[in-house]
Amino acid sequence: MAARSIASLTISFGLVSIPVKLYSATEASKAITFNMLHKTCGSRLKQQYLCIKEEIPVAREEMVKGYEFAKDQYVQFTPEELKAMDEAGTHTADITEFVPIESIDPVYFDKAYYLGPDKGGAKPYALLRKALAESDRCALGRWAARGKQYIVMIRPVDDGLVMQQLLYADEVRSIKEVEIPPTEVKPAELKLAQQLIEAEAAIQKKIEGQEITLADEPEPSAQVIDLMEALRASLEKKGAPKKGEKAEKAAPARKGPKRAEPAPAATRKKVKA
C-alpha cells in the first residue's frame, strides 16, 4: 500500500524552491496494551482530574491549559490562542549550509521524515538528491512547526531524500557524564579484534559480490594463533587420522612382516609336527 503524505513542504536554498510531500519514516510499534480495572468487579476505571485547592473533581469542559512562569503561578491560554501558536510554523525548510555527512554525530538524530517530490518538483528534487549523493554532503536548515523551530538535515538515501530533525546541543547529554574506568588494552588483543572486524568486512564484501583484496601476511612472531587450530595442526603433523577418515589410512607403513606370536597351548596340541 502506498504511503500517505502527512504535510506539504517547500525546500528552499538560494533561488531554488522544491515543493515536496512529507511522509512519516517510522510507525509506532504495535505493543500489547492493558486497561486498568476494578479488582473486585472487573469494570474499567475512569480517570478523574482533581483540583488540588478545592479537592473536587473537575469536568473536561472546565479545564484550560496554562504555562507556569513562576512557582505555582500560571498564565492561561484559550484553544484559539494555542491554535494560533501552532500555525505560527512555516511550510518552508530553509537550507543554510552544506556539510559532509560524517560531520553530523548520529547522537543528534531525532525524528525522521521521507521527502517525495510534489507537483512540479520532480526535476529539482532529483537534482538536489544527486548533487548531495555525489558530493557526500547533506543540507542543514531550519524548519518551524508546531510552535517550535527545528534544525533539520536533508540527506540522500537510495533514490530519495530524508529530512532528519536534529536535537539542539543542550538537548544532548555529554558522554563525559558516564563513568568509564580507564582500562588497558593489550596490543595482541587489539590486533585480534581488528582481524575479526576485517574478516567480517571481507565476508560482507563476498556476499555483495565485491572483489576482496588480500592484505600482506603478518609476521609469524606477531600472529595470534587460535588454540583449536594449533591443536589440529599438531595432530595432523603427528599423523593422527582426520575426522571422518579410517584409522588404517592414518596408520604408519610397516617396515616388514611382523613375527607371529606363539600360539596358545590349547591350540598347539592340534597342530601336527
Q: What is the pLDDT of residue 192?
A: 87
pLDDT higher than 60, residue 240: no
Q: What is the pLDDT of residue 229?
A: 60
Query: What does residue 143 show for φ and ψ, rounded to 5 degrees?
Result: -145, 125
Q: What whole-number distance in Å separates Cα of residue 249 and Cα of residue 235? A: 15
The beta strands (E) that lie in 119-256 are given as: 137-145, 148-157, 160-166
Task: Kindly list the distances between the CA atom of residue 231 and the CA atoms of 25, 46, 60, 228, in Å, as whole numbers in the listed order.
Answer: 52, 70, 76, 5
Task: Kindly list the distances between the CA atom of residue 18 and the CA atoms of 89, 167, 169, in Å, as whole numbers in the listed order.
Answer: 18, 24, 29
What confidence category does residue 157 fall into, taking pLDDT thresholds of 50, 70 and 90? Answer: very high
1-26+54-168: CATH number: 2.40.290.10
The Cβ-side half-sphere exposure at 37, using a 13 Å CA radius, reads 8
Q: What is the pLDDT of residue 80?
A: 86
How do the domains of the chain map onto residue ranges? 1-26+54-168, 185-213
Dihedral sign, CA of 86, 88, 93, 94? negative
| Residue 197 and residue 205 in contact, taking contact as beta carbons nearer than 8 Å | no
Mean pLDDT of the chain: 80
pLDDT higher than 70, residue 86: no
What confidence category does residue 103 fall into, taking pLDDT thresholds of 50, 70 and 90? Answer: very high
Q: Would you tell me how many other CB atoms lie within 10 Å of the CB of residue 249?
A: 8
Q: Is 162 helix (H, G, I), strand (E, B) or coil?
A: strand
pLDDT higher than 80, residue 194: yes
| Residue 9 and residue 22 in contact, taking contact as beta carbons nearer than 8 Å | yes
